[in-house]
Structure 1
Amino acid sequence: MKTIIKNQKARKNDTNKQRAVADYGMVASAVDEATKVGAAVLRQGGNAMDAVVAVQFALSVVEPFNTGIGASGYILHYDNNKKETTVINGHSQAPKAIQEDMFIDRDGNIIPHFERSTHASAVAIPGIMKGMETALNEFGTMSLDKLIEPAVALAENGFKVNWQWDYAIQTLMLRMGDEAKAFFAPDGMPRVEGEWVKNPNLAKTLRILQKKGIDALYHGEIGDAIVETLQKMEGILTKEDLQNYQVDIEKPMTGSYKEYEVVVPGPPNGGGPSLIQLLKILEGFHLEQYQVASWEKYYVLAEAMRLTFSDKLAYMGDPEFVDIPMKGLHHPDYIKERQNLINWTSRNTEIDCGNPWLYQESTNKKGEVKDFETGGETTHFTAVDRWGNIAACTSSIEHVMGSGIMVPGYGFLLNNDLTDFYPEPGHNNSIEPKKYPVSAKTPTFVFKDGKPVLTLGSPGGPTIVASVAQVLIHLIDYKMDLKDAIEEPRIYNSTAPLVWWEEGLDQSAKNKLEQMGFEFPELAKPIGNVQAILIDQDHGDLYGAADSTRPGSAIGLNRE
């Protein structure tokens, strides 16, 4: 435990709002106003789940282009009394009327991503509200109406637009429908940083949820408005789909990295299993022997990501519909086989998905990698309370601005989660009625000697696993301060030569990787946005950190 605690730089009364240390509770999220809401709930005696529910509603107001009433998500909860971790699956689901060829045009070609992701037919059954209700009923202590009230106040009274809005609006205007444009760019003028904004339509929606509960979405007025909006735009979601949606409470998946236990959601979540596989591949290379900014570290990361994500693309799916070779993917001999493809001389052009079926005595055929474009944003938030309970959620409307469709008179955007399916039939992750698309959402808990020491997660679509894994190795292998571990430049590589990179990546390491056959886009870009809390089990301290790529914060509570 001390290996990831001893080098923490945060101190009480630190003026950097993206670092915090406390001993009585902690919240971290991607937007400061939402973090303050969660911290206030803890201060009022709420527990970690109460705080996370309140943060979700607050983010629906202040980060509406990444999450909201129409979102989906996974919630991870640790009960310190029972010593038990649980997954609340609030993931989106395909409507009953979905057609397997709905993203194929009359000529048999895949409809371009922009066109299919901004159409009403891309909207899946939103799950986050039912997920939050289920989580609150199971693990919370405060009433739903009380936890919604801070979000109502933000929507009614207003708040200052932050710099994240500038990017989302000005770069994604083309994704917005008329209703969304009227809110984000009234009279054609995009809202800008520092502007005071209110959302009375969303305030009305939140008031309805306060009065009538989450059923107002799945069985009542809000759901009616969603369905009416989509049917006018050739959507396929029906009231029956909303009424039949159920949230599952599931057991998590568990893996390890060195002496630490890593706990994540399992399928249909694809991020959790991939994180465990990636860490097991990396474990064999003892990254701590290389400098944190070295080409060796980045080379192993880039190749290990290719190995892992090719398997994810080939084999992950909804386990109610397809068989997943989960035992084989994590089998020690299969991991060794994958490790042997990292040759230290170049980008190995022979890397493809493997055949994990061979490692669980199955005659199933080797899979096929089907790469396709998905959305790139989400949001993550987490809380630890005074009793040692932990809650974390990764929540999303898929793409920034989701489908671009805002429900008239209700002030929230709808997701485009159906674009998380592979658009052609015949694949593990192809579209089918009532099926979950593969998600990369990876809320993560880390344990040492049976005790929780870390909660973290990130947005970023396909880059989520890469972001979480790199922060973990910065903490465990390089024994970095939590905030420094988050800020250390990250990379992301999928199946192609192209490696996304963050500002600050060592130029000599970049040059070396280019010599080895990797390619880099001209411009750096943020990869993910990690929110995390370290738990010092020896001294009772909590260390929180928010990623600088969004206007977030970490706020802690101290004993009086």
Structure 2
Amino acid sequence: MSDNTNRSGGSKLSRRGFLAGAAASTALGLSASTAIAQQHGDLCSQAGVDCGTVATGADGMVVSVSPEASEVGARVLRDGGNAIDAAIAVQFALNVAQPHTSGIGGGGFMLYYDADADEVEVVNSRERAPAGATPNMFLEGGEPIPFDERHTHGNAVGVPGTASGLRRAAACYGSRPIEELIDPAIDLAANGVPVSGYLADRIVEDEWKLNDAAREVFVPDGEPLEEGDPLVQPDLARTLELVRDRGIREVYEGEIAEAIADTVQDAGGSMTVEDLSRYEATLDEPVQGSYRGYDVYSMSPPSSGGLTVIQILNLLEPFELGENYDARDGTKYHLLAEAMRLAYADRGEYMGDPEFVEVPSEGLLDPAYVAQRRELISPDELNPDPQPGNPWAYQSGEAPSASRPTERAVGQTTHFTVADAEGNLVSYTTTIEQSFGSGIMVPGYGIMLNNELTDFDAEPGGANQVQPNKRPLSSMSPTIMAEGGEPFLTVGSPGGPTIITSVVQAILHHVEYGLDLIDAIDEPSIYAPESPEITRWEEGIPEEAREEAAELGNEWVESVPIGNVNMLRANDVYEGAADQVREGLSVGIEETAD
């Protein structure tokens, strides 16, 4: 990662906290910023709690990008809640503390290991296109509308799924009433959270696209909130109270649903209350593969994440990177890039919503097919034109039409992990797509709306074309790895299409090279979906390695941080590690309530 990241190892973090209630600050006569600055969250100073960039805990762990959200989840665990209870509380808290990345205006994929059932399942809350969506709605004059224009239009907003997914998870796996899991987020929204440095940067960067309602929150009186300023969201607090008091379906059938539909239509979209009322999150099966004798569970379509992660790992496995190449060897980066290019070619050609197109999942991971594709990778030269293969030869079915990839920006998103004393694990990636999503906030309700439908191909005709009620292709890759049937590792990241490569390289750095979790996260990564460019790469890759890879034909383009990985390892105790690019926090629990 870049040198300006703030690493703190496993030390305790001293942070601004928040007051327990709005009335308290009023009674004390304190401004919101003074109140936040004066009261630190006390959980991390308590016995039996370990907080830091890296933390350990025998009885539970929460790792997220937000210190406030991590503490909220850890409190649920400490009070006897299970991993699903804590994950629900974390997601609601992230809606408040990280409104630019996720919330009930978006969707996501929750990968859950149920220790009692010894099964991995998926709670799928991916957004859907409304009934009024059309295959050519992102075209003008036969050409794709520029991304900055199409992702801020009402047509970009998918029917949000996060709230439905949390409701489904609570009903199937939770142990606490969902109402009490919303309360901490209400407190955060009403009383304020300190703006992180990353959020402050995003406000400045994305101010141009925020609608009037969002500007009132993030750019009050025309001045963008700065790092350390209190982010107070009374409209969002009221919305969360409605959800708590009336139930999750309020988002889909009640007052909130009407406000969402009206806002989308005012922005030019077609979404109706009927579209919202039809939405239901689903329980799905993960995609499963193997690497180095470990079982790998990840997200199945409509995410391309799991299939592409496992395919890249399988393409690389016989090269034995850890045995033959240093972690920062130029040939290692070349081989990584070549595997990425082949897997992304298949991704763009064949993957979409399985309710609408048949995805050759078995064929893509068939060992014979992967071996055939691997023959196109050489440590000595570049494949100048990697094309999709033919996985249908290894799986029966009718191939869909080719996709037509179009310009997309790298998204924001967030990922977090939870583990409890019973061995249950949650690996959850959640998003509103771009930073601040579409830039459209629902006036009076504080909900930032996603721009997820821009994940469809703008040009119709392929597996990932826009269709009514269809889910757009995703790159989210929440992953759980198991050894001998026992889960031992979770990993995930934000970053749009770079999510896949971030997850792959975190796994390689830990499993192949034996790096500790935080070192595996910090080890510089690359992103190379098309030949010959290595589109993105991180500082720390030696110049001689770049020169070596360039001699093989690779072109190094842009040096920027990639993703924001967090990881959890389960041995005798849990160990969590949080990437500090976005100031994350790991909280380990040593004891829970009886």
Compute the displacement of 1:475 (Å). Answer: 1.1
Q: In the alignment, which of 185, 188, 199 is matched to residue 165 of structure 1?
A: 199
TM-score normalised to the size of structure 2?
0.89
| Separation (CA, whole Å) in 2 of partners of 1:382 and 1:203 | 25
TM-score normalised to the size of structure 1?
0.95
Compute the displacement of 1:498 (Å). Answer: 2.7
Residue 452 in 1 paired to residue 484 in 2? Answer: no
Equivalent residue for 1:470? 505
Equivalent residue for 1:175? 209
- The SS at the match of 2:339 is helix
- The SS at the match of 1:520 is strand
Q: In the alignment, which of 223, 242, 256 is matched to residue 189 of structure 1?
A: 223
TM-superposition CA deviations, 1:283-328 (whole Å, max 9, x none):
1211112111111211111110001111101100111111222222
Compute the displacement of 1:461 (Å). Answer: 0.7
Residue 259 in 1 paired to residue 297 in 2? Answer: no
| Separation (CA, whole Å) in 1 of partners of 2:437 and 2:367 | 39
2:321 maps to a residue whose letter is: L
Compute the displacement of 1:365 (Å). Answer: 8.0
| Separation (CA, whole Å) in 2 of partners of 1:151 and 1:387 | 25
Equivalent residue for 1:198? 232
| Separation (CA, whole Å) in 2 of partners of 1:43 and 1:388 | 15
| Separation (CA, whole Å) in 1 of partners of 2:61 and 2:314 | 30
- The SS at the match of 1:532 is strand
Q: In the alignment, which of 134, 150, 156 is matched to residue 190 of structure 2?
A: 156
**Counterpart mapping for 1:145-544 below 5 A:** 145-289=179-323, 290-360=325-395, 364=399, 367=402, 370-499=405-534, 500-522=536-558, 524-536=559-571, 540-544=572-576
| Separation (CA, whole Å) in 2 of partners of 1:550 and 1:308 | 28
Corresponding pairs, count: 547
1:193 maps to a residue whose letter is: E
Compute the displacement of 1:233 (Å). Answer: 2.1
Residues 520 and 175 of structure 1: CA distance in aligned 2, closer, same or farther (over 3 Å): farther
Equivalent residue for 1:131? 165
Residues 368 and 101 of structure 1: CA distance in aligned 2, closer, same or farther (over 3 Å): closer
Residues 466 and 336 of structure 1: CA distance in aligned 2, closer, same or farther (over 3 Å): same
| Separation (CA, whole Å) in 2 of partners of 1:224 and 1:438 | 27
Residues 365 and 94 of structure 1: CA distance in aligned 2, closer, same or farther (over 3 Å): closer
2:434 maps to a residue whose letter is: H
Runs of 5+ unmatched residues, structure 1: 1-8
| Separation (CA, whole Å) in 2 of partners of 1:120 and 1:371 | 19
| Separation (CA, whole Å) in 1 of partners of 2:49 and 2:88 | 27
TM-superposition CA deviations, 1:436-477 (whole Å, max 9, x none):
111111111100000010111111110111011111111111
* 1:353–1:367 Cα contact (<8 Å) kept: no
1:306 maps to a residue whose letter is: R
Sequence identity, in percent?
Answer: 43
- The SS at the match of 2:480 is strand
| Separation (CA, whole Å) in 1 of partners of 2:135 and 2:404 | 19
Residue 63 in 1 paired to residue 98 in 2? Answer: yes
- The SS at the match of 1:534 is strand
- The SS at the match of 2:447 is coil
Equivalent residue for 1:547? 579
Q: In the alignment, which of 73, 77, 91 is matched to residue 42 of structure 1?
A: 77
Segment drifting more, 146-155 vs 340-349: 340-349
Runs of 5+ unmatched residues, structure 2: 1-8, 13-47
Segment drifting more, 497-506 vs 545-554: 497-506
TM-superposition CA deviations, 1:43-68 (whole Å, max 9, x none):
01000000100000000001000001
* 2:50–2:587 Cα contact (<8 Å) kept: no
* 1:357–1:365 Cα contact (<8 Å) kept: no
- The SS at the match of 1:172 is helix
1:139 maps to a residue whose letter is: Y
| Separation (CA, whole Å) in 2 of partners of 1:81 and 1:360 | 33
1:280 maps to a residue whose letter is: N
| Separation (CA, whole Å) in 1 of partners of 2:390 and 2:170 | 41
Compute the displacement of 1:375 (Å). Answer: 4.4
TM-superposition CA deviations, 1:164-192 (whole Å, max 9, x none):
11221111122212221221111221111
- The SS at the match of 1:510 is helix
Residue 144 in 1 paired to residue 197 in 2? Answer: no
TM-superposition CA deviations, 1:354-397 (whole Å, max 9, x none):
12122235674884663531442100011000011111210000
Compute the displacement of 1:205 (Å). Answer: 0.6
TM-superposition CA deviations, 1:389-428 (whole Å, max 9, x none):
1112100001111000000011121000100000111000
| Separation (CA, whole Å) in 1 of partners of 2:294 and 2:453 | 35
- The SS at the match of 1:35 is helix
**Counterpart mapping for 1:74-93 below 5 A:** 74-93=109-128
| Separation (CA, whole Å) in 1 of partners of 2:361 and 2:244 | 41
* 1:28–1:544 Cα contact (<8 Å) kept: yes
| Separation (CA, whole Å) in 2 of partners of 1:228 and 1:272 | 35
Compute the displacement of 1:345 (Å). Answer: 2.9
Segment drifting more, 175-184 vs 86-95: 175-184
Compute the displacement of 1:16 (Å). Answer: 7.1
2:427 maps to a residue whose letter is: A
Residue 102 in 1 paired to residue 137 in 2? Answer: yes
Residues 534 and 11 of structure 1: CA distance in aligned 2, closer, same or farther (over 3 Å): farther
| Separation (CA, whole Å) in 1 of partners of 2:175 and 2:383 | 53
| CA RMSD, Structure 1 to Structure 2 (Å) | 1.8
